[in-house]
Structure 1
Amino acid sequence: MAQQHTHEEAVETVKDLIKDIKVAMMTTVVDGKPVSRPMQTQETEFDGDLWFVTLKETDKYDEIASNPTVNLAYAGKSYVSVSGTAEFMEDLERKKKYWNPIFDKMLETSYDDPNVVLIKVTPETAEYWESGNTLKTVKKFAQKLTSKDSVDDNDGELNDTVDFNKPNK
């Protein structure tokens, strides 16, 4: 159950949790089924929106155009699942700012190619799990799968949901 957070608190929480995680698994919906692929989150001061670079001539572009509901999964010291709405942006200055020389090779083009487009994801909710100890989290999960007895879920792990749409108090 989500705790009450202001928009600013939600942004700060997610910002702190994903700051060192460079790649998210972006999930789109195709014919009612989820499809995921890795996407590099663009390094920018997180203000509540997440940015990605892609090409228009891709399945992901068509999928988002058809259904803009997406999920972003981040895994590192924390695990964060962000649900939101994606939209395409044609901002040439922002494309130049986010462009990385690796994209020249990976996408075989340059930032000013009209086929390059930005994906802006506006989060609606984010659920996160903080453990501080990944091995401990995996061990606890294995215990849950193999034990007939109840396993204490609150032993060093924090799980919460923040809602980006809550009005400020």
Structure 2
Amino acid sequence: MAKTLAEIAEMMRDIDFAMLSTHSTGGTIASRPMSNNRDVDYDGDNWFFSLENTRLVDDIRADPKVGLGFQGKAGLLKMKPVFVSIEGTAEIIKDKAAFEAHWNKDLEMWFQEGVDTPGLVLIKVRGDRAHYWDGEDQGDLALAGATAESVATPTG
């Protein structure tokens, strides 16, 4: 049975890391693991911190269309596998108030000066479309205008 956005969000709740894929110079695709700061009450937006002087930020500025891949725990205590893929548009944010709204103390392992880390940026990925697979179902959901009750279109 196709899932609602709320059910997809629940599937994603404990997934802290995503593979963030960008279009790089020369036409290649580059992917890197990113923590979503435990900011996983999914509503179509994803939030990631980075330093500004990185290939990731350069890639986003050149082409903001990105992909996110999430994989949940599977096989532990007979849990179903969970895979979620998000197609979206990334935006680079340099606003300290936004940093504070999405900050988690665990991020200080990468950014020792917290929200005052020189060159810190926040990457907002606004999801356009979500695809999910959970071992029983798979579906596709357009996120623009979606509400928690919006139902994915079954695929597969």
TM-score bracket for this pair, using the shorter chain length? 0.7 to 0.9
> 1:32 deviation in Å?
2.0
Aligned-partner Cα distance in 1 for 2:125–2:100: 18
- Partner letter of residue 128 of structure 1? Y
User: SS where residue 21 of structure 1 aligns?
Assistant: coil
Query: What CA deviation, in whole Å up to 9, does each residue of 1:15-64 have, x standing for no partner?
Result: 11211100000000113221100000133333321111111011101000
Q: Is the Cα–Cα contact under 8 Å of residues 42 and 50 in structure 1 kept in the other structure?
A: no
CA RMSD of aligned residues (A): 2.3
Q: Which has the larger radius of gyration?
A: 1
The aligned residue for residue 121 of structure 1 is: 125
Does residue 82 of structure 2 align to residue 88 of structure 1?
A: no
> 1:167 deviation in Å?
7.0
The aligned residue for residue 38 of structure 1 is: 33
Aligned-partner Cα distance in 2 for 1:112–1:167: 35
Task: Give the counterpart of 2:137 among 158, 161, 166.
Answer: 158
Identity within the alignment, %: 31
Gaps of 5+ in 2: 73-80, 151-156
TM value normalised by structure 1: 0.72
The aligned residue for residue 54 of structure 2 is: 58
Structure 1 pair 167/128, CA: closer, same or farther in 2 (3 Å)? closer
- Partner letter of residue 18 of structure 1? M
Gaps of 5+ in 1: 132-156
Query: In the comparison of the two structures, how many residue pairs are matched?
Result: 137
Query: What CA deviation, in whole Å up to 9, does each residue of 1:51-84 have, x standing for no partner?
Result: 1111101110100000101100000141000000
Task: Give the counterpart of 2:10 among 9, 16, 32.
Answer: 16
Aligned-partner Cα distance in 2 for 1:36–1:29: 9
User: SS where residue 54 of structure 1 aligns?
Assistant: strand
- Partner letter of residue 140 of structure 2? T
Q: Is the Cα–Cα contact under 8 Å of residues 38 and 104 in structure 2 kept in the other structure?
A: no
Query: What CA deviation, in whole Å up to 9, does each residue of 1:79-116 have, x standing for no partner?
Result: 00000000011221231233333433323443123411
